[in-house]
Chain A
Amino acid sequence: MERETGVWRLVFLALPLGVFTVLVIWPLASSFYYSFTNWNGFSDNFEFVGFSNFNKLWTDKLFFNAAVNTAIWMVAAVLIPTLLGLGLALLIDSRIPGGPVFKSIFYFPICLSAVVVGQIWIWIYQPDWGLLNVAIGAVTGSSPDFAWLAKPDTALGSVIAAWAWQHTGLAMVIYLAGLTSIPEDLLEVCEIEGASTWQRLRVVIIPLLTPATVVVVALNVINSLKGFEILYIMTGGGPFNSSDTLAMHMYNESFKKYLMGYGSAISVVLFIVALTIIGIYFRELKKVDEIYG
């Protein structure tokens, strides 16, 4: 009976495992394989070049530029939605008028695709008639025509703002769920003891929101590592590689310069970085599970 159950388990797992193998494991293994070649992405003729693609990374200043931008992107893409999401959750949880409506409004952007979000923000950042410059002009009485996405100093930050706008709602919803799990009597005790809002927040609410924070941070880290579509739509990694991340650099090297072998090497580095971060996440998640059950 047990043997039969085991067989049926394998049968039912075969299809999803098969799909996972074809769509994830096979391309991953192929990336590793091609990272040791000089394949251009379409020719049948290519050679093994050993570690020369990986050696090239050390002298590629665009790679280091992309790595730095990726680090900035990840820190900002984690911090901004997390903090804003927490703030919005605390605000909505305080029973402000129209709370449910605001919850829906702030959650709405996460339902949009990255391409749609990117296009919306391209229009917002448009120098001549974009909402941002028009709003600045209305407040200052000037006629700004700043090209937010065309200037190297502001391109990456502008895309990060768009990304954070999309992902803040998700953080807010997770924190709202976390806030409902905080025992009411603890908050009552704080009130009775005369604790200030900041003390209540620092000593009770934020520590008890740790499980929610771990989920929010993990989701934002994973999503930021995958962040490609919005960058591709809004800046393509430009201007002048100022918003280039490792994912975008990998794409440009592979599909624009036809250096698929080198692009695969970049993807291997990105995979190792992602694996390390996920490993740390699971280790911390285990600690949180032990503390909070």
Chain B
Amino acid sequence: MGLWKDLVDKGYFVANANADDWTDAGDKVARGDAAMTLMGTWITGYWNGIDLKPETDYNFFEFPQITEGLPNAVVGPVDGFVISANAANPEGAEKFLNFVVSDTGIQTKWASSRGALSANVGIDPSIYTPVMQKAAKAVADADAFVFNYDLSTPPPVAEVGLSMFSRFMDDPSKVDAILDQTAEDTKKAFTE
């Protein structure tokens, strides 16, 4: 948190960051009011939609490594299909899912329409924009893929962490008190 506080104190973040949702942040970058935003690949769909050109008007770089030696992991959500536990025909559903994931034609259409990366690494990367190709390479080269923090932990625990960072951005001077409160809230959330 010390590094984050250092960055905030040096004025590297826009004022009232908590007041912006991800499209507001994207708009600020698009207008040049902010240099960069930390966001998932879906923002490329938003920027393309407001006529920004990949590589010319926006680009991408991986979040820098802070602690040396840690595995290089990619973080992200997964938009996918699931089979109900009470499905009437689970074998048929599984065959369908295998088909949807394996067929590169379908996956190409799916990824293009979603503005996302296909889970099938066998599809032709030329369907992606140059920026998305960089993202695809980052995923392919990563040591691990993990879900977003708020997706990989129980909701009460996720809320503690997300709230903690928002509180920090609201008033970085209270970082120690915020961390103490977070430790207490986390303990309580894990035991609920």
A257 touches B159 (CB 8 A): yes
Q: Map CB proximity to A onto B149-172 as digits: 1 under 8 Å, 0 otherwise.
A: 000000110010001001100100
Q: Which of A95-103, A143-151, A272-280 contacts B (4 or more CB under 8 A)?
A: A143-151
Contact between chains at B16 and A145 (CB < 8 Å): yes
- Contact indicator B19/A149 (Cβ below 8 Å): yes
Is A256 in contact with B159, judged by CB distance below 8 angstroms?
yes
Kindly list chain B residues whose C-beta atoms are within 8 Å of the C-beta of A145: 15-16
* A232 neighbours in B (Cβ, 8 Å): none
- Listed residue (A126, A256, A257, A259) with the most chain B CB atoms within 10 angstroms of its CB: A257
Taking a contact as CB atoms under 8 Å apart, the answer to whether A256 and B19 are in contact is no
Given A152-B170, A257-B156, A257-B159: A239 and B16 interface contact (C-beta under 8 Å): no
- B156: A residues at CB distance < 8 A: 257, 259
A240 and B166 contacting across the interface, CB-CB below 8 Å: yes
Does B18 sit within 8 A of A, measured CB to CB?
A: yes
Count A-B contacts at CB 8 Å: 32
Question: Closest approach, in angstroms, between the C-beta of A211 and any C-beta of chain B?
Answer: 44
Chain A residues near B166: list those with CB within 8 A.
238-240
Q: Are A150 and B159 in contact (CB under 8 A)?
A: no
On chain B, the number of residues with a Cβ less than 8 Å from chain A's Cβ atoms is 11
Given contacts A151-B170, A152-B170, contact A239 B159 (CB under 8 A): no
Complex: chain B residue closest to A56, CB-CB: B192
A21 to B142, CA, bound (A): 56
Contacts A257-B156, A258-B155 hold; do A240 and B16 have CB atoms under 8 A apart? no
Q: Are B155 and A240 in touch, CB under 8 angstroms?
A: no
**A127 near B159 (CB under 8 angstroms)?**
no
**CB proximity of A42 to chain B, nearest CB, Å:** 11
Residues of B within 8 A of A240 (CB): 163, 166-167, 170
Q: How many residues of A contact B (CB 8 A)?
A: 16
Contact with A along B38-54 (1 / 0, CB 8 A): 00000000000000000
Which residues of chain B from 134 to 192 have a CB within 8 Å of any chain A CB?
155-156, 159, 163, 166-167, 170
B155 touches A150 (CB 8 A): no
Question: Would you give the shortest CB distance from B47 to chain A, in whole angstroms?
Answer: 19
Which residue, B15, B19, B155, B170, has most C-beta atoms of chain A within 10 A? B19
**Which one of A126, A127, A238, A256 contacts B15 once the chains associate, using CB atoms below 8 Å?**
A127
- Identify which of B16, B163, B167 gathers the most chain A CB atoms within 10 Å of its CB: B16
Cross-interface CB contact of B18 among A146, A239, A258, A259, cutoff 8 Å: A239
Query: From B157, which residue of chain A is reached at the shortest CB distance?
Result: A257
- Complex: A151 Cα to B166 Cα, angstroms: 11
Using Cβ atoms and an 8 Å threshold, which residues of chain B touch A126? 19
Complex alpha-carbon distance, A158 and B176, angstroms: 29
For B19, the chain A residues whose CB sits under 8 A away are 126-127, 147, 149-150
Expressed in whole angstroms, the Cα–Cα distance for A259 and B155 within the complex equals 10
- Chain B 1-56 residues near chain A, CB threshold 8 A: 15-16, 18-19
Q: How far is the CA of A239 from the CA of B168 in the complex (A)?
A: 12
**Residues of the B chain whose Cβ atoms lie less than 8 Å from the Cβ of A258:** 155
Since A147-B16, A239-B166, A240-B166 are in contact, a sample of 8 more A-B pairs with Cβ atoms closer than 8 Å, ordered by chain A residue number, is: A126-B19, A127-B15, A127-B16, A145-B16, A152-B170, A240-B170, A258-B155, A259-B156
